[in-house]
């Protein structure tokens, strides 16, 4: 998205609420920032009286492992007042499960005698 110019320089994301949907890179190190941006986006959409679209827009922008984690979510879950929270909860659960899987592979059980 192009930045909007002002006398003080560029001002990114100054367009309509729905025009900037946070995107996730599928890198664990970027998740915290992505989650915060989703919460900011949700608030921005609420101020524009479009909160009901938030979870759908965020989900539609997901790719890769993040998409795989949420693709089976029911549309009614996303439509609810807690849709964005439920989407983020699912991504959180997937992230925690991935960390546990990584730990199990990093520290395998020693052979039993």
Domain boundaries, the chain: 24-105
**Average pLDDT over all residues of the chain:** 82
Cα→Cα distances 38→24, 95, 101, 111, Å: 10, 16, 26, 44
pLDDT digits (tens, 9 = 90+) for 97-109: 666 666 566 666 6
Global confidence as pTM = 0.73
- Does residue 2 have a pLDDT over 60? no
pLDDT digits (tens, 9 = 90+) for 23-57: 999 998 899 999 999 999 999 999 999 999 999 99
């Amino acid at each position: 998205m192009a930045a909007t110019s002002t006398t003080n320089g560029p001002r990114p994301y100054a367009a309509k609420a729905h025009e900037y949907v946070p995107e996730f890179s599928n890198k664990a190190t970027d998740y915290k920032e992505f989650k915060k941006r989703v919460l900011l986006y949700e608030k921005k959409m609420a101020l524009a009286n479009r909160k009901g679209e938030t979870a759908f827009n965020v989900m539609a922008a997901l790719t890769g492992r993040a998409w795989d984690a949420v693709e089976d979510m029911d549309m009614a879950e996303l439509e609810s007042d807690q849709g964005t929270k439920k989407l983020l909860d699912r991504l959180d659960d997937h992230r925690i499960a991935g960390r546990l899987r990584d730990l199990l592979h990093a520290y395998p059980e020693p052979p039993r005698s």
